[in-house]
Amino acid sequence: MKVLVVGGGGREHVLCWALSRSAAVFCAPGNPGTAELGTNLPLGASDHAAIVGAVREHGIDLTVIGPEAPLAAGLVDDLARAGFKAFGPTADAARIEASKAYAKEVMFAAGVPAARSETFGDEAKALDYIASHAEPLVVKASGLAAGKGAIVCPTRAEAAAAAREMFGGKFGDAGSLVVVEEFLTGEELSILAVTDGEQVMLLPASQDHKRIGEGDTGPNTGGMGAYTPVSIADRALLERADREIIRPVLAEMARRGVPYRGVLYAGLMVDAAGHAKALEFNCRFGDPEAQVVLPAADLDLTEDLWRIAAGESWQPPVTYCEATRAAVTTVLATPGYPASPVKGQEIRLASPLPEHTILFHAGTALDDAGVLRAAGGRVLNATGLGRDVVEAAERSRALAESITFEGRQYRRDIAWREVARAGAA
C-alpha cells in the first residue's frame, strides 16, 4: 500500500511514522523527519491540482490529510472527484471546525453538553448580549484563525472590546460571525475519535498545553506539549463522552446529509465532578496530541484509515483504545514564538538520541550545505516514552534539553497535572 500524508508538521511526521509500519509513505511537502521515512514531494497542501496529479503519478492508494486548511478547502472532495481515496472529512463536514457558529448549531441540535452561547453577525446585538450576561465571557471569531480566535475575557468590558475588534476585521472574514459564550472552568481534554460516520474508535485521551509559558502562563500557541494517558479520562468519562458528545454529533451530521468521516477531535472541559462539556471540535488529528497518542496506542492504522476512506465496511478493532505505554511530547519553538518567531538558527541534535525517545520534526529544513535549521515557529517535538507519565515526562524533557539552537524555547513542566496527581497518589 502507498500512502500520501499531506502537511509538513510534527503531526504529519508522526502520521508517517505510524503508517510506515505497513505502508510505503510519501509526504507533501513533508519535512526532514518525514524524508527519513519515505519520499517527500515538494507540493503545497493548498495546491489541490498538484496533489491530485502526484497521487495519480505515484499510484497512491490512500491520502491522509493532516491540517484543517486543506480539509476545509475541499481536498478530500477534489481527490474523490478524481477517483482517489482520502481519509478526512469533506469540506462540508470540516465546517465543524472551520465555522464555530456551525459547530455550536450542531452541538445544540444534537443536545450535546456545551457552554451556553449565541452567535452574532451584528456588532450592536453582540454588545447587548455581552452587557446582559455574567462575566467572564469567551468571545470567538467563528472562522479559522490559526488557534488565536478564542479570547477569554475576564470582564464584560474586555469581551466588548474583543467583539469590536473582531467585527472591525482583526481576523478578516473569520470574524464576520462572532460567538459569545459562557466561560467554563475545569481541565481540558482532547479526544480523537477515528470514525466512518457511524462506528467509532476513541484513541487514548490526551492533554495539550496551549500557553507558551510554564505554569500555563502567557499567550496561547498551537500547543507547547502534550501527554497521554490522562488519569481523569477514566472509562466512565470516555463512555459518557462517547454517548453524550461524539455519537450525537455524528448522528446529527448524518441527519443533515453531511456524514462525517475522518478523525473527529473533541476538545472537552472536564469539571471537578468529572463531567465533560464540549468546547470545540476539530476536523483532524491534534498537533501535538498526535505525537503522543499514536506512539502510545501502538496501533497499525493503515487498514482502518483505508477502509474508512474507501467507504468499505469497517469494524473498529476496539472502541476504547488503551495506551500501551505513556508518552509525553515537549515542543521546541523558536525565539519570539508565537508573536514573531525568529527562524534560521542551526540545530544541533544529540547522536544517538537518548533511549525511549522519538524526535518528530515540525518547522525544520536542511539548507544547501545539509545543515538542519529552524524554519517554523514550532520546530521539533521531543517525545519520551515510559511505563508511566512521570517517566515519559523525564525522557521527553531530557531529549528536549539535548537539542540546542539559539534562543530555543520549551516548557519544562509538560504533563505537570498528571505528575502532581502521581505525586499525590
Q: What SS3 state is found at 152?
A: strand
User: What residue number has its CB nearest to ligand AMP?
Assistant: 150
Query: Which part of the chain contacts ligand GLY (CB under 6 A), choosing from 42-50, 138-146, 282-290, 357-365?
Result: 282-290
Under 8 Å between Cβ of 276 and 211: no
* Residue with smaller CB distance to ligand GLY, 38 or 225: 225
Within 300-359, the residues that bind ligand AMP by CB under 6 A are none
Find the shortest distance in angstroms from Cβ 273 to ligand GLY.
Answer: 25
Under 8 Å between Cβ of 267 and 188: yes
| 289 part of the interface to ligand GLY, by CB under 6 A | yes
Among 12, 61, 287, 304, the residue binding ligand GLY under the rule CB under 6 A is 287
Query: Which part of the chain contacts ligand GLY (CB under 6 A), choosing from 132-140, 285-293, 298-306, 328-336?
Result: 285-293
| 211 part of the interface to ligand AMP, by CB under 6 A | no
The residue type found at 294 is L
| 207 part of the interface to ligand GLY, by CB under 6 A | no
Q: Which does 279 bind (CB under 5 to 8 A by kind): ligand AMP, ligand GLY, none?
A: ligand AMP
Distance from the first to the final alpha carbon of the chain? 46
Backbone angles phi and psi of 156, in degrees to 5: -60, -35
Query: Which part of the chain contacts ligand AMP (CB under 6 A), choosing from 176-184, 199-207, 309-317, 331-339?
Result: 176-184
The vertex-370 CA angle with 366 and 375, nearest 5°, equals 20
Instruction: Give the sheet arrangement for strand 187-195, strand by strand.
Output: 200-202, 187-195, 262-270, 276-282
Query: Which part of the chain contacts ligand AMP (CB under 6 A), choosing from 163-171, 178-186, 233-241, 317-325?
Result: 178-186
Query: 133 burial class (0-12, 13-18, 19+ CB within 10 angstroms)?
Result: middle
DSSP 199-213: -EEEPPPBEE--EEE
| 210 part of the interface to ligand AMP, by CB under 6 A | yes
Residues 83-122 vs ligand GLY: string with x where CB under 6 A? ----------------------------------------
| 276 part of the interface to ligand AMP, by CB under 6 A | no
| 282 part of the interface to ligand GLY, by CB under 6 A | yes
Find the shortest distance in angstroms from Cβ 420 to ligand AMP.
Answer: 19
* Residue with smaller CB distance to ligand GLY, 34 or 291: 291
Of 63, 416, 357, nearest to 207 by C-alpha is 416
Under 8 Å between Cβ of 146 and 282: no
- How many Å apart are CA 127 and CA 157, to the nearest integer? 10
Backbone angles phi and psi of 365, in degrees to 5: -155, 150
Q: Which three three-digit cell numbers place residue 191?
A: 479526544
Q: Which does 115 bind (CB under 5 to 8 A by kind): ligand AMP, ligand GLY, none?
A: ligand AMP
Among 74, 213, 267, 316, the residue binding ligand AMP under the rule CB under 6 A is 267
Backbone angles phi and psi of 264, in degrees to 5: -100, 115
Among 197, 259, 286, 338, the residue binding ligand GLY under the rule CB under 6 A is 286
| 187 part of the interface to ligand AMP, by CB under 6 A | no
Find the shortest distance in angstroms from Cβ 208 to ligand GLY.
Answer: 4
DSSP 225-263: EEEE--TTS-HHHHHHHIIIIIHHHHHHHHHTT----EE
Q: Which does 184 bind (CB under 5 to 8 A by kind): ligand GLY, ligand AMP, none?
A: ligand AMP
- How many Å apart are CA 69 and CA 117, to the nearest integer? 25
Sign of the alpha-carbon dihedral angle for 56, 52, 250, 230: positive
Among 92, 181, 208, 418, the residue binding ligand GLY under the rule CB under 6 A is 208
| 12 part of the interface to ligand GLY, by CB under 6 A | no
Among 45, 279, 290, 374, the residue binding ligand AMP under the rule CB under 6 A is 279
- H helices present in 148-200, as ranges: 156-167
Under 8 Å between Cβ of 210 and 202: no
Q: Could you list the residues that contact ligand AMP (CB under 6 A)?
A: 115, 138, 140, 150, 152, 181, 183-184, 188, 210, 267, 279-280
Q: Could you list the residues that contact ligand GLY (CB under 6 A)?
A: 208, 223, 282, 286-287, 289
